Amino acid sequence: MSKIKEAFHNKKAFIPFITCGDPDIETTKKLVKEMVKNGADLVELGIPFSDPTAEGPTIQGANLRALNGGINKDKIFNMVRELRTEDGISIPLVFMTYANVVFSYGAERFFKTCQEIGIDGVILPDLPFEEKGEFEDISESYGIDLISLVAPTSAGRIAMIAKEAKGFIYIVSSLGVTGTRSAITTDVASIVRVVKENTDVPCAIGFGISTPEQAVKMAEASDGVIVGSAIVKIVEKYGRDSVKPVGEFVHNMKSAIS
Amino acid sequence: MDNKNGRFGIHGGQYIPETLMNAVIELEEAYNHYKDDEIFQNELTELLNNYANRPSGLYFAEKLTRELEGAKIYLKREDLNHTGAHKINNVLGQALLAKKMGKTRLIAETGAGQHGVATATAAALLDMECVVFMGEEDTKRQALNVYRMKLLGAEVIPVTSGTATLKDAVSEAMREWTSRIDDTHYCLGSVMGPHPFPIIVRDFQAVISKEIKEQILKVEGRLPDAVIACVGGGSNAIGSFYNFIDDKDVRLIGCEAAGRGIDTFETAATINTGKLGIFHGMKSYFCQDDEGQIAPVYSISAGLDYPGVGPEHAYLHDIGRAEYVPVTDDEAVEAFEFLSRTEGIIPAIESSHAVAYAMKLAPQLEKDKIIVITISGRGDKDVAAIARYRGENIYE
């Protein structure tokens, strides 16, 4: 069974996202530990890409800061390995990056490394259902879940995607790119209903969630919430001193949905 | 050569966010319907002939031929189209298609500004809203085209992310499309991006090679020995090549922008220096580093300053059907000046890359050989930049 399911056992999952290497890999590591301490059920670790086409300005900025700081995949892999072996982090961890980052490293080598260091899943926003064959066999052979996304525009496609989903389903709450929004107008409940009719894989909602009120609403409609830009903004503001405020933010969000 | 999943060999595909999947599926269905629809095709032909001034001439460049002392050189005059470049062929097709699909708003990326101007033009003609994304760097290099787009009623949004050039304009247009799909068509300007764009854009540009074939058979009674065109994303090149792909004796030569040279980092020659990758919706060759980060490419030509190449070109390269050669800034600028002096034709700096390679090739060929160069656009937009390249401080 997918280890990712553990994040959803008998509770609404809180899933924070951070960009690895922003502002540096040491801070990223501290952030992961602090977020876990404050109730994160699964952590999404962004591997920076030069041209993140699914991201809004906040996470684009984080990618740029991390790349300018000299981040690379080997440093990120080492950090994850240490989190697992030295820091005793046992919750599911997934990578979020772009297809070219995996492809250029060599898919075989990438997923093999994921297995070795203790990554449970990979989210690639530019790899839709039609193209998942690019990596699916290889990721499965190493026991890594390739996470499927469902969008507000997925009408007629949700059942097809849900039936083959692994790990969890990432429900994109709104049109457009990542970033905080004052209101989420999509009828997510009806998307979740179709998902649930077709799979028992849990689903979490992301894109645009920044307040405990939004989180509560989205958690009620699904199995969990994903928050990225709101956390990255705190990291952007406080840099190396962001560990404590990020921990507090995660604590508040997790408490709100518990 | 292309199958229904939009693959050219291993290249192509649809590597885009789930949010856009239904949009490209809807586009493909609409295109497959209208491409065989007589009324649609008649409307498009009418626009191409009476609005865009097609067919464009195939001009025998007698003086250029004499100067180079080799093969006979013909110029396919896409620079004489309305708006001054081949871009209008594709834009009129896509704008008409979008209108039939019930879309009221066109968005586009642009490098040199030619595709943006063409899109703004079609939007004005067909009563559609238009928003053009252009790298901030390019808005400076091509200030005249920015004003031209505004004059035509379009909104121009300078893109400051990344390298602030064409690739960032594409990324930003894709981001905009994910946020507003219902009323908006993304009028992609080259044979790139996710399927079905590489096929749609190729089909609308294939009119170039269809005409070359008819025109050369009429005047020479035979096919050319080589067709030469510049390649950024590759739309004028695929348009120039397409109807010759099965004519194996016709050499197809794409000229990539080598910038300061393919042995430097300041280059945009994708097939000559890039690696296989996945970006902007397609699998193809891309300039990138060992970590898979897309490279900040460089060329004097804003229209060729792109780190990727269309998937059909990648395939034609793989199977050896087309050749892709690098041409430096210096060579292109010399060709820009040479064609201006010898024929009184100022080519776009993009097209000058094709002229530059023809200047190398023609003298090596016998005088009974025939070369066709596609002059994809006119060079008026480049005059100030070339003057600055030559040390004269002219600003538009």
Average pLDDT per consecutive 10 residues, chain A (258 residues; last block may be shorter): 86 97 98 98 98 94 97 98 97 98 98 98 98 97 98 96 98 90 88 96 95 95 96 98 98 96
Strands A13-19 vs B58-60: parallel, antiparallel or unpaired? unpaired
Supply B299's token pair: 């060329």
By the 8 A CB rule, do B327 and B258 touch? Answer: yes
Assign B73 to helix, strand or coil. strand
* Separation CA A150–CA A153 (nearest Å): 8
The residue in chain A having the minimum alpha-carbon distance to the alpha carbon of residue B277 is A100
Peptide bond into A23 cis (omega under 30): yes
A203 touches chain B (CB under 8 A): no
Contact B292 A103 (CB under 8 A): yes
Contact between A53 and B17 using a beta-carbon 8 Å cutoff: yes
B243-278 per-residue burial string, b: 16 or more CB within 10 A, e: under 16? bbbeeeebbbbbbbbbbeebeeeebbbbbbbbebbb
Q: Is B99 a catalytic residue?
A: no
Q: In what order do the strands lie in the sheet with B226-231?
A: B58-60, B72-77, B370-375, B226-231, B251-259, B322-328
Specify which residues B108 forms β-bridges with: B132
A225 with A209: CB under 8 angstroms?
Answer: yes
Q: Say whether the peptide bond before residue A16 is cis (omega within 30 degrees of 0).
A: no
| Nearest CA-CA partner of B171 in B8, B12, B16 | B16
> Token digits for A51?
């041209």
Q: Which residues of B touch A49 (CB under 8 A)?
A: 292-293
Query: What are the residues whose beta carbons fall under 8 Å from the beta carbon of B238, sequence distance 6 or more?
Result: B191, B201, B202, B205, B206, B310, B312, B313
Side-chain half-sphere CA neighbours of A21 within 13 A: 23
Q: Given the residues B72, B87, B167, B283, select the one marked as catalytic.
A: B87
Token digits for B219?
A: 């005047």
Catalytic residue, chosen from B28, B56, B78, B109, is B109
CA atoms within 13 A on the CB side of B111: 25
Query: Amino acid identity of A148?
Result: S
- What is d(CA B193, CA B197) in angstroms, rounded to the nearest whole number? 6
Q: What are phi and psi of A179, to 5 degrees?
A: 150, 155
CA atoms within 13 A on the CB side of A247: 15
User: Which H/E stretch holds residue B188?
Assistant: none
Structure-block tokens of residue A145: 């879940």
Domains of chain A from N-terminus onward: 3-249 (3.20.20.70)
Q: Which residues of B touch A100 (CB under 8 A)?
A: 277-279, 286, 288, 292, 294
C-alpha R_g of chain B: 19
- Supply the pTM of this predicted model: 0.96
Q: Taking the C-alpha atoms of A122, A126, A132 and A133 in order, what is their torsion angle to the nearest 10 degrees?
A: -110
Query: Does A66 contact B at CB distance below 8 Å?
Result: no
**A53 near B CB under 8 A:** yes
- Mark out chain B residues that contact chain A at CB-CB < 8 A: 5, 13-23, 161-162, 167-168, 171, 174-175, 178-181, 275-281, 286, 288, 290-294
Q: Which of A20, A51, A203 to mutate to test the interface with B (most CBs of B within 10 A)?
A: A51
Residue B96: partners with Cβ closer than 8 Å, 6 or more residues away: B40, B43, B44, B47, B126
Report the alpha-carbon distance of residue B11 to residue A163 in Å, rounded: 28
Find out whether B126 and B103 touch, Cβ atoms under 8 Å.
no
Give the pLDDT score at B396. 59
Q: What was the pLDDT predicted at A240?
A: 98
Residues on chain B touching A131 (C-beta within 8 angstroms)? 13-15
CA dist., res. B229 & res. B324, Å (int):
10
Q: What is the pLDDT of residue B225?
A: 98
Residue pair A100/A50 in contact by the 8 Å Cβ criterion:
no
CB-facing half-sphere around the CA of A144: CA atoms within 13 A: 28
Q: How far apart are CA B374 and CA B243, in angstroms?
A: 14
Amino acid at B9: G
Determine the Cα angle at B98 with ends B97 and B101, to 5°.
90
Q: Do A50 and B174 touch (CB under 8 A)?
A: no
Taking an 8 Å cut-off on Cβ atoms, the answer to whether B290 and A104 are in contact is yes
Q: Give the three-state DSSP class for A206.
A: strand
Determine the pLDDT at residue B1. Answer: 47
Instruction: Report the residue count for chain B.
Output: 396
Q: Which amino acid is at B254?
A: G
Contact A128 B17 (CB under 8 A): yes
Integer Cα distance of A134 and B5 in angstroms: 13
Q: Would you tell me how many other CB atoms lie within 10 Å of the CB of residue B1?
A: 13
Predicted ipTM > 0.85: yes
- A141 CB within 8 Å of a chain B CB: no
Q: Which conformational region is residue B234 in: left (phi greater than 0), alpha (psi within -120 to 50 degrees), or beta?
A: left
Say what the alpha-carbon torsion angle B176, B179, B181, B187 is, to the nearest 10 degrees.
Answer: 10
Instruction: Give the residue on B whose Cα is nearest the Cα of A70.
Output: B291
B140 is catalytic: no
Q: What is the DSSP string of B208-245?
A: HHHHHHHHHHHHHSS--SEEEEEESS-HHHHHHHGGGT
Asked if the C-beta of A91 comes within 8 angstroms of chain B's C-beta atoms, the answer is no
B171–A104 C-beta distance less than 8 A: no
Distance separating alpha carbons of residues A137 and A113, to the nearest angstrom: 15
Q: What's the half-sphere exposure (Cβ side, CA atoms, 13 Å) at A256?
A: 21
**Structural tokens at position B168:** 């960032």
Any residues with CB less than 8 A from the CB of B185 and at least 6 apart, and which?
B27, B94, B95, B97, B98, B101, B103, B105, B106, B107
- Going residue by residue through chain B (396 aa), what tens digit of pLDDT does each one get? 445 578 999 999 999 999 999 999 999 999 999 999 999 999 999 999 999 999 999 999 999 999 999 999 999 999 999 999 999 999 999 999 999 999 999 999 998 899 999 999 999 999 999 999 999 988 987 888 999 999 999 999 999 988 888 999 999 999 999 999 999 999 999 999 999 999 999 999 999 999 999 999 999 999 999 999 999 999 999 999 999 999 999 999 999 999 999 999 999 999 999 999 999 999 999 999 999 999 999 999 988 999 999 999 999 999 999 999 999 999 999 999 999 999 999 999 999 999 999 999 999 999 999 999 999 999 998 998 899 999 998 765
A150 interface with B at CB cutoff 8 Å: yes
Interface contact A151, partner B, CB < 8 A: yes
Q: Which two tokens stand for residue B88?
A: 């209008």
Pair of tokens at residue B104: 């009221």
Contact list in A for residue B157 (CB cut-off 8 A) is none
3-state secondary structure of A229: helix
- Residue B376 a catalytic site member: yes
